[in-house]
């Protein structure tokens, strides 16, 4: 009797395992059949602070043709360099006024790339134009903003923080449009 019970229990476990495996196989096949093409994240520029080594990284998500992947493809996250070179964390809700994106829009999509525009909440007076394209090394992108009264390819904003709270000044840094020199402009302070 006990042996019959064990055989019945084993058969039930085997049947349940077979059903679960079949269900997982079907889900996996369905997920593969419905998955979208791979997307890529391309770094644009950073905001560094006088407080520590951590940086806010801005990036744009593009599809396999380097076209902006959605109607809001630009995003920001923390690079927690104080922990490790690969450590990242999302922005916190209380940090959005300082580092968040006020608005963004995709303004052009072409087969080999596209253009988007964005405004940072902290510097709404400086629209940033982002261009993406297919290059020799894959998808590439650049963020262009006015620095010192001329367009430049933004790579960093340095925020000198005021104690105990606030920002004393911002230093915008970018490459001249011909790539021959670094241009800088200090805001505030």
Summarised one tens digit per residue, pLDDT across range 16-54 is 443 333 333 333 444 334 555 678 999 999 999 999 999
Over residues 138-166, mean pLDDT: 95
The pLDDT, as a whole number, for residue 37 is 62
Q: Long-range contacts of range 95-103, CB-CB < 8 Å, 24 or more positions apart? A: 96/121, 97/121, 97/122, 98/122, 98/159, 98/167, 99/47, 99/56, 100/76, 101/74, 101/75, 101/76
- pTM to 2 decimal places: 0.79
Quote the percentage of the chain above a pLDDT of 70.
Answer: 80
Q: Which residue has the higher pLDDT, 188 or 8?
A: 188
Q: How far apart are CA 181 and CA 129, in angstroms?
A: 20
pLDDT per residue over 51-104, tens digit each? 999 999 999 999 999 999 999 999 999 999 999 999 999 999 999 999 999 999
Over residues 101-128, mean pLDDT: 96
């Amino acid at each position: 009797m006990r042996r019959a019970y064990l055989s019945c229990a084993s058969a039930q476990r085997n049947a349940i395992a077979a059903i679960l495996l079949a269900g997982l196989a079907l889900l996996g096949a369905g997920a593969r059949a419905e998955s979208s093409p791979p997307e890529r994240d391309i770094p644009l520029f950073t905001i560094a602070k006088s407080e520590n080594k951590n940086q806010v990284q801005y990036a744009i998500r593009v599809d396999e043709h380097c076209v902006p992947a959605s109607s809001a493809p630009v995003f920001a996250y923390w690079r927690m360099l104080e922990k490790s070179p690969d450590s990242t964390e999302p922005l916190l809700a209380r940090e959005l006024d300082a580092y968040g994106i006020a608005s963004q829009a995709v303004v052009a999509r072409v087969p080999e790339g596209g253009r988007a525009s964005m405004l940072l909440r902290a510097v709404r007076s400086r629209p940033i134009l982002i261009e993406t394209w297919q290059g020799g090394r894959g998808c590439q992108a650049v963020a262009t903003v006015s620095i010192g009264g001329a367009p430049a390819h933004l790579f960093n904003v340095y925020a000198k923080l005021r104690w105990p709270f606030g920002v004393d000044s911002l230093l915008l840094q970018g490459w001249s449009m011909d790539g021959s020199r670094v241009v800088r402009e200090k805001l505030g302070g």
